[in-house]
Chain A
């Protein structure tokens, strides 16, 4: 299987400040990858570059076997094989159905096809009863489940999750985690997840990536990194100490 993401010397700056500098990073296909690190370590910046929402200032980025040249056509083609769920998912004005159907509509899928797929996706996340509900009136947990349905209806090769459960209660978070695992196991979707929650990363991740001040300081199999971190800063982070 091709490596879905290859990063070489990727640098991102905001004004003059360097916020991300990754020498080399490869994300394996079909696994759940957790990106961990303290606030301001560049986790979301890294995620947004890989999701092609943010242009890197330097370096070479390969996504799904293609060197990214940021042409309109290429970006659209690559983005259509990926999807994303963020911390506080934005819901478009309209029904839950409208929201879940959105990505399929942009791909010009037939209305009957959309109907079938939306029904399936909402059933998967246990939201069938909410199909006609106003998406703006959903609770935090329901909103995240609708966002998961909206992303998984597209059957993406890659699913990005940016703190998908940080604003919801534990019961809803557990349910979302169950869906994340199911998507990965049933379809082999590569999942790249930014999380603050170490326990969540332990429960879900196959591979973990630690960032610190914009640099990759450790990467490896989850069980190894959690049990025997090589970098002292990772160890301190895992012990719950503040890392400087």
Chain B
């Protein structure tokens, strides 16, 4: 317990010191995970909505695969990306292994099924009535699909926060494909592993605290955005 308290204390001290390396690691973590989140949202939201709204052979199987991939172990995602990007791999010529780009690709692999699957569920939870209302008010198919996504946005926001939580906190994939190279691919989670192994528990705890703070701030931003766009309180009144 003493180690933890001492660690937290030293952690605060480290944060206040604004150490250049810690700042660099934090910024890279944010860059990699936010880029991965944006790319995954660009793929996952339309794919989720389309797979919920369209009828096609193998739909159930596809959704089942997506749901399964929501639980893809990060280290396995990392391994797959590693094999793709390694010198002898199919994408080896691009020399992306051990770069932040490789880390983004691995995180996209982890975040996309989450956004896809949860968006599909949120859209499928809507009733026929919603589409009918849009259609009878003159919405085209595309406009009606946008309306359905808009009506399912609470679920989609949940998908985005879940996906972000997953990628910012994962260590297996970024360790494998990034290599935890100082000043190049070292992020918060890989630094925590490293510092822990070296016995620098207070530094590891400080980094952990920064990680949690980032998550808190990003989620706060999403909630604020929600409040601004949604204006109306959808809380169920329980008396």
Contact = CB atoms under 8 A, between A and B. Distances in A.
Interface in B218-239: 230-234
B228 to A, nearest CB: 13
Nearest to A134: B232
Contacts of A154: 137-138
A106 B139 contact: yes
Interface in A129-188: 134, 136-137, 150-151, 154, 160
A117 interface: no
A106 B234 contact: no
B60 to A, nearest CB: 19
Contacts of B143: 106
Interface stretch (A5-13, A34-42, A72-80, A232-240): A72-80
A79 B136 CA distance: 6
B136 A92 contact: no
Contacts of A116: none
Contact of B137 (A88, A106, A134, A137): A106
B129 interface: yes
Given A76-B140, A106-B143, A136-B234, A92 B133 contact: yes
Contacts of B150: 92-93
Nearest to B146: A106
A103 B141 contact: no
Given A92-B151, A93-B150, A93-B230, A72 B136 contact: no
Given A92-B147, A93-B151, A93-B230, A79 B138 contact: yes
Interface in B96-132: 127, 129-130, 132
A157 B176 CA distance: 64
Contact of B140 (A82, A106, A151): A106
B116 to A, nearest CB: 23
B135 interface: yes
Interface string B182-216: 00000000000000000000000000000000000
B206 to A, nearest CB: 42
Contacts of B147: 92, 102
Q: Which of B139, B143, B234 has the most CB of A within 10 A?
A: B139
A94 interface: yes
Interface string B145-161: 00100110100000000
B212 to A, nearest CB: 31
Given A92-B147, A93-B151, A106-B143, A160 B232 contact: no
Contacts of B230: 93
Contacts of B136: 51, 53, 79, 82-84, 151, 160
Given A72-B141, A76-B140, A89 B133 contact: yes
Given A90-B129, A93-B150, A103 B137 contact: yes
Interface in A56-104: 72, 76, 79-80, 82-84, 86, 88-90, 92-95, 102-103
B132 A107 contact: no
A191 B7 CA distance: 74
Contacts of B234: 93, 136
A83 B129 contact: no
A151 B137 CA distance: 7
A94 B132 contact: no
Given A102-B137, A106-B140, A86 B129 contact: yes
Q: Which of B132, B137, B147, B231 has the most CB of A within 10 A?
A: B137
25 contacts: A53-B132, A53-B136, A72-B140, A72-B141, A76-B140, A79-B135, A82-B136, A83-B138, A86-B129, A90-B129, A90-B133, A92-B133, A92-B151, A93-B150, A93-B234, A102-B134, A102-B137, A103-B139, A106-B134, A106-B143, A134-B231, A134-B233, A136-B232, A136-B234, A160-B136
Given A72-B141, A92-B130, A93-B151, 8 more contacts: A51-B136, A76-B138, A88-B129, A89-B133, A92-B133, A92-B147, A93-B153, A160-B136
9 A-B pairs with least C-beta separation: A103-B137, A84-B136, A134-B232, A80-B138, A90-B133, A90-B129, A106-B139, A103-B138, A106-B143
